[in-house]
Amino acid sequence: MPQPLIGAVIGCGFFAQNQLHAWADLPGARIVALCDRDAVRLAETAARFDIARTYADAEAMFAAERLDFVDIATTVASHRPLVEMAARAGVHVICQKPFAANMADARAMVAAVEAAGKTLMVHENFRWQSAVRRVIEIVRSGELGEVFFGRVSFRSGFDVFSGQPYLAEGKRFIIEDLGIHTLDIARALFGDVVRMAATTRRINPAIKGEDVATMLLSHGSGATSVVDCSYATQRSPETFPESLIEIDGNKGSLRLDAGYRLVLADRVEDLSPPVLAWASRPWHNIQESVLIIQRHFLACIAAGIQPETSGKDNLQTLALVEAAYLSAAEGRMVELAAQ
């Protein structure tokens, strides 16, 4: 059995708890240190996961610890300084989405970790949800033939603001926070995008950003897809946090319906994800994907290969986010360049 990789987690907030549970489930990693500027969160998380060494300052942590990797679980504003610090410390990096607030920061982070000769993966976990993964496998197997149409849809009225109050405060909301996942799923299914158009709306008057977005994508593969997301949709049953998918190919069609029900021409598959011991509904779908993506990170380091959701790959997803905001602001189709 190879020695586990030694890691640290920066950011002990709402979502990091899932990441720490997943690391504890993975024999290939051992988290030895935690960092957070918030002393209460830091102490509570250290006690919950029995992690002895804690730091209020990431620079101090990198100076004191001998790490193989760092997991950055903070919100976007801190990503660039922390990723660049990790690159200077010569450790592998996994960083939460949204990876960067702009393309320049994203490119700088990719370049810094590349120059250090280390692995950089973005925690872009929606394409790693087991139901979505099954759909990706079917498309990549060629079973549907040449795909000409797709839809990736996330519509919900779930209150995400109580757990993540910062989501109500930003000028940007649903495309940057959630659409980024659904756009990434569309890329995983249909390939990179050559042009796109988007419209946005804000329905909830209590938040600052847009909570509805509808996007039309032309993929280089020839497929057209619609990616739509909303946190202003009153559904029954509520489907948070499921991404519903429809795909048409010249040899067949599929639908990933509500309730993780996959329908192909001649069969139905129940793709309900497991509820891991530390997980709870309705988040169990996302929580399972955290375990899967973190396992992928360790496997890629062991094999010396780039993760599927590497920093470099994520530049294409971030470019779609930027293009969507530009298209919505200017009311026009936006061309995408290769990143």
From CA 248, how far away is CA 237, in angstroms rounded? 25
Interaction between residue 164 and ligand 89V (CB under 6 A): yes
H-helix or E-strand spanning residue 115: helix 103-115
Q: Which stretch binds ligand 89V (CB under 6 A): 24-32, 173-181, 183-191, 259-267?
A: 173-181
Burial 80-117 (b: 16+ CB within 10 A, else e): bebbbbbbebebbbbbbbbbbbeeebbbbbbebbeebe
Q: The tokens of 49 are what?
A: 């996961």
When the beta carbons of 38 and 335 are compared against ligand NAD, the nearer one is 38
Smallest distance from the beta carbon of 72 to ligand 89V, in angstroms? 14
Helix pair angle (16-25, 284-303), 10° resolution: 60
Q: Stretches 40-48, 177-185, 294-302, 326-334: which one binds ligand 89V (CB under 6 A)? A: 177-185
123 belongs to the binding site for ligand NAD (CB under 6 A):
yes
* Helix or strand (DSSP H, E) at 121: strand 120-123
Give the integer Cα–Cα distance in Å for 314 and 110. 10
Out of 178, 215, 319, 336, the residue judged to bind ligand 89V by CB under 6 A: 178
84 binding ligand 89V? (CB under 6 A): no
From the list 209, 241, 249, 273, which residue makes contact with ligand 89V (rule: CB under 6 A)? Answer: 241
* Residue 255 φ then ψ, to 5°: -135, 135
Rounded to 5°, the CA angle 190-227-200 comes to 145
Is residue 189 at the binding interface for ligand 89V, with CB under 6 A as the rule? no
For the bound state, the minimum distance from the C-beta of residue 117 to ligand 89V, rounded and expressed in Å, comes to 30
**Amino acid of residue 75:** T
Closest distance of CB 241 from ligand 89V, Å: 5
Given ligand 89V, ligand NAD, none, residue 178, with its beta carbon under 5 to 8 Å by kind, binds ligand 89V
Q: Which of residues 211-270 bind ligand NAD (CB under 6 A)?
A: none
Regarding 76 and contact with ligand NAD (CB under 6 A), the answer is yes
Q: Which is nearer to ligand 89V, 65 or 228 (CB)?
A: 228
Distance, CA of 29 to CA of 6 (rounded, Å): 6
Q: How far is the CB of 165 from ligand 89V (least distance, A)?
A: 12
Interacting positions 21-40 with ligand NAD (CB under 6 A)? 35-38
Residue 322 contacts residue 103 (beta carbons within 8 Å)? yes
Please name the residue that has the structure tokens 């998918």. 245
Q: How far apart, in Å, do the first and last CA atoms of the chain sit?
A: 39
Q: Are 259 and 272 in contact (CB under 8 A)?
A: yes
Report, in Å, the least distance between residue 12 CB and ligand 89V. Answer: 17
Among 54, 119, 125, 225, binds ligand NAD (CB under 6 A): 125
Q: Which amino acid is at 38?
A: D
CB of 309 to ligand NAD, least distance (A): 11
Binding residues for ligand 89V, per CB under 6 A?
Answer: 160, 164, 177-178, 181, 241
Binding residues for ligand NAD, per CB under 6 A?
Answer: 10-16, 35-38, 41, 58, 73-76, 78, 82, 96-97, 123, 125, 164, 166, 177, 286
